[in-house]
Structures are given as structure tokens and as C-alpha cells.
Structure 1
């Protein structure tokens, strides 16, 4: 293992029970209440590139009302069998060991992917700086530097999931209206491609998961970090809990970040301040690990974490739905060139 890699440990907080399939809504119908979206719906990534955090609820906000998606979506694909399930998922706790700030950023977005965008955070965080990043991570700006490594501790409860399963050798198909617009694309005419993007989008939702998310970041000097990773890899699971008390304490960590509630839910924040206090010798702090140690807290939190944050998202390009090979190649050239330019420009 190279130290610059992200090392992940995953522990289940409670058994994941069988999902309960629901009838998939027709994609031509309006969006579900509370601004949900569904697999197969599309969006023009360029219309909000860099500001997706304002349209997709993935980071803490100050909103008093629950929301998941605010961006208007389109329905350019023919009705395919979609899977939309409610999940009876007790929750997982993730430990992601990050060598530096870049790995911390990558770790936060590890469950997200957008075709053609390698640095996916750029599509969400235009204009972000150290102050903003430190605020979202719940740590002091001083500790956001290459002098420190990190452990990102997250509790994720998955409540709703959807996907558009397609055979490997088959792509999605456009509706009759969208196919007619695709036929109007002229090879060599960039404007015709942009008109198609404006009307039908650039990407569609391949799969998504919504639920609840809490997280906490611990910062360590580069001298301590290799020892932490090495020790955890050598220990058995039943010895981790005792070691966690040491590693995730203010006595050993250079900085213990605030516990963050991605939804901004005030009820969860009040519960957190009552129940997640911990101590190590004379050092008092708040710790998400209290949930792992205490089954009753685990059960309480399981009922509190709602369904108002996107915890997994995969956006795929509409390219496979354009069946004319020459036109598809031209659209791909325009799309990928623009994505590269926007990614570099951010």
C-alpha cells in the first residue's frame, strides 16, 4: 500500500435488511414530491457546472426545509425498466484514511461519478477556497495543509435507491421527440449540439442513493499517520474499538473536527450535543464513535437520519442513446472538449 492512497475500512452499524421494491414512476411524469429525482432523468451539466452543491444536496446547508434536488430534470429516454427501492438499512460507518487534503476531498466524493469529469468536486465547488473547504469539513483552516493527514469518519444510512439497469452491449434509447432533435444535429456545427444539450441534457442519472449522512474529520501530523494505518491493518476487528479510543482522541489527534450533519437537521444536531460527548483522560470532545460503541444510540440515530441527502450518484452521458455513429462521435468531441475546458478553468 502506498501512503498517498485512500485506505477505507467499513463497519456495519446494523444489519442491512432486504429492500422493498416500489413501482417505478413513469419518467415523463413530474418529479416526485420534495424534489426527488429518478433514474433515467437527465440534466445539462453545463447549466450549473461548479454550482451543483446548490442543486444536489451533498454538503451541509443552512436550509430549514428538507430537500434533495432543486435542479429541473428532463426525460429524453424511452421508458426502460427502472428499479426504485426503499431500503431498510441500519447504517454503515466508514473510516477513510487520507494522506493529504486532496485525498480528503476525493474521499468525500468517493461515492460520486460523472462521465467525463475526473475531478468531480470541481462540478460542485466552484470558487471554493481553504476557508470554505475547512468549514464544510468541520475543521480549522490551519490544519488544512500538506503538513497533515486525515481520517474521515462517516455514518451513512441509505434510505432510497434507484438505477437504470441496461445490458452491457445496449445503451439507452431516446424518445421519439429527442431522437428527432438528435437527427437535426449537423456534424461540424457546434451550435446544433449545444441546442440538443439545452433541450435534452448531457447526462442522465444511471443510479443514485439518498439517505442520511454525518461525518467527522481528524487531523494528524505526517509523522503519526503511517503508524495509524499500519496498526489498524494489523489488528483484528474485535481489537479496533479499544485502539479507536486512543487514535480518535484529542490526546493523540492533532485536531478533532466538529461533527457535521449533512442535512443540517436541527433535531439531529440537538441529539448529537446530548449524546456524542466523549472523554479520554482529561480530554473532552465529541465523537461519532459513540454510536459504534452504544447500540441504543445506534438505534436512535437510525430513526433520526432522514432521506434528505444524496449519498451516492452516478451520472452517465447520453452519448450511447445517439444511434447515428457519425453524429455521436461529433457530439462526444464537443462534450468531452467542453468538459475538459470547464474542469481546467475551475
Structure 2
């Protein structure tokens, strides 16, 4: 029996790892251990119940106002102890978080194979996004199984000299999770119903998310100015913004947007609530990687408020536009989506380049054949 360790720490990791955990636990040949590091403790715990995940090891690595260096050192120490205890044949990590980076580093030190889910994403600018681009490049250096979501990601790895036999095109597990969530919400509507009594059925609702470090400061100021302009120019539209708790986000958002009649600032939404908000939205303004992957499956156009993205597939497919933090560009493209029905439909009716919801099954099959 092969031992598989799955490590995650943040909400996006939990969402994207959930289908993998569900699939691997079905395989009799695998002994699966799930380690949650606690990076996003409050945001992840509801997902553990929603996806019916069993956590075998729960760490508590977060401290108030700790630096990335302090977080990294704590994660390395705690994960090394966990790995030494479980003795896995492979450690699976997801994406580009500090948890994923540290789990891969510890595995490398102990000569344990690493499987990287959502491998091959690149901006090729080491500090954008920060520190995620650095994390994923380093993870790629020590990975034995690269599970890539798209052919673009595969090409990135091949260009870096990664052997083709270690790269597996699977699609992105976020689509598996989204399909699971939508089905569960729809079939248990009473249990998972979220009331948005302020959201009228005939109102065009623009959903907004923003949290990226590289946008802190002037970037967020510009984003907020653009949203303010859009709200004033489109009084019949409702702009809904679940505001991240980071003070670098809270301060400019509340200072610039609070008090505008058709802007609804709400607390950060849990996965269930946010999935329903995405379904109800007209289009989405975001700097989130996960939203870029999910929205096309719900036929929602995306305006990406970043200067670069490692998810160019959705832009190339026509479902998203990279608008950066330039307020003029944000306003112009948003206004075009609101006013131009033909343009809107051209972005809304695009096949999702990140897969069909079978990524976790594919990953389980690959591991069963190759471990």
C-alpha cells in the first residue's frame, strides 16, 4: 500500500484539493493522510464540513503580524515533523502558497516524491505575483509528478527543461470542486440557501474581489476609483464587493467606496455564498486566480485587475480581459460589458479552458499506475 500525504493551508488550496482527497480515499491501494497547516484557519474549517473532508493532522502556524520568513520557518519545522511521522511515498501540494512551497521543500530534503497539482503556471516575473511566482518555480524544481491544468502550463515546464514524461495534462481540479458545489447547493437548496434579500432578480449585479499584494497602495486606490466611477455612471447596476480583511484592502475600499448607494460592501463570503454570488452576477471584476478559472464554467465574463496573469488561457480564450489597475481601462471595458450585448455574449459563451471536471479522477488514475 502506497502512502500519500496531501498538504494544504489556505482556502483556495482546500477547494482545489477537496476533489483529489475525495478520489484518493476511494482507492484501496492508497493510505491517505491529510495535513492542514492552518494558514487560513477560519476560512477553511467550513469547507472541511462542506466537502466532507477528514483531517488527519492539523497544524497551527499562524501568529499575529508574522513575516513571510517567520511563517516559512514555522511551516518547515512543523511539516518536517509531520512528514517524519507519516513517512509518505509522495507528498501532494497545490498551487503556489507558502504552505505548498514549504511542504515541497521538506519533501525534497527527505528525498520524498512531490506531486504538484496546478503545476506550470508562470508570469515569468519572479516578484509578480509576490511571493507566489517564486514559490511555484521552486516547487517545480523538486516535483516528480507535474499535474498541469492546460497545454500552456505544460509548454512552460517543457521550456524550463522539465522531462515530458513527468508532466500530466489533467485540467484544473477547481472545476471539479465547482461542479460538486453547484450540484450540492442546487440539490440541497434549503440547507445551503443564502439570503441576499438586497439583490433583486432584475438587477445587473457586478461582483468584485480584490486582495493581491502587488495591488496594495496605488493599485487599490485606482481600482476603487474605477468602481466609484462605474457606480455613479450606472445607477441601475449593483456593485457587490466582499471585502478582504487585510487592512491594505479595507482602508482604501472603505474610504473611497463606503456610502455610495449602489455599492454593497459585505464581509468576506464563504465558498458556498461566493459560489452563489458568482451564479447571480452579470460579470466579475477580480484579481483572483481561482475566479479566473471558475467563472467561464458559469458563463460569466471576467475583467482581471492585474498587470500580468499566470492564467493567460482564459484571456486567450476570450472569457477574460486583462485590464490591470488603470482606472480608465477598467471603466471602459466594464462599461462595454454593461452596454454592448454582442460584446458581452462573446465573453460569456466561451468553453472553459481549464477542463471538464474530471481532473481529480485523472490524478488518482495516474498515481495508481505510476507510484
Is TM (by shorter chain) over 0.5? no
More contact order relative to length (CA 8 Å, sep ≥ 6) = 1
Q: Comparing both structures, which one devotes a greater share of its residues to strand? A: 1
What TM-score, normalized by structure 1, do the two folds share? 0.25
In terms of Rg, which structure is larger? Answer: 1
